Structure 1
């Protein structure tokens, strides 16, 4: 799922909200998460996961075209670790996951 699809789904589930408002809220949330990571902070969404920044050490890379060694400097990279609730949902037996998907689809069809 991409951001625009997520915005459309949220707007469809909440007919009292305009799509442009959902997009503005989504951009505000993602922007705030980005700002916090740039500042070196950790962002934790209980039940979902935590975003952090990790440091990668400098290393020797390779130019894939020539095979020549190329120095790659140290850098900061974003990292995500799932929360316990999300991990449990991902590892739930397939039957219960399928039942949850079917229930969600049924609710969405009822609203239409």
Structure 2
């Protein structure tokens, strides 16, 4: 499902126009991105968005590590980075696994 299909489904289920559904979905996604991308005064990730039953969005710090260039097989150092992460909530995991609650 892409964003347009999601907008159609939300508009139908919530009985609102596609324009209203698109505005709400876009605003929600922007807020999640802004919060997860936020940093504290030391530049460390601080933002987290938790939707109970659905899951949590957060930024995680990846430590510097050694890797290999796949073309040359030469060792290289992969620098530390901050990446977005999603952890599914219990209700979401159970639904995907087919567990009835």
What SS does the corresponding residue of 2:10 show, helix, strand or coil?
Answer: helix
CA RMSD of aligned residues (A): 1.8
Matched with 1:10 is: 10
2-side partners of 1:60 and 1:37: how far apart? Answer: 27
Given the two structures, how large is their TM-score scaled by the length of structure 1?
A: 0.71
Structure 2 residue runs of 5 or longer lacking an equivalent are 39-45
With normalisation by structure 2, the TM-score equals 0.77
SS of corresponding position for 1:32: helix
4+ residue runs over 4 A deviation: none
Query: Which has the larger share of helix?
Result: 1
Distance 1:52 1:81 in 2: 8
- 2:25 maps to 1:26: yes
Unaligned runs of 5+ in 1: 97-112
User: Match for 1:55 among 54, 57, 61?
Assistant: 61
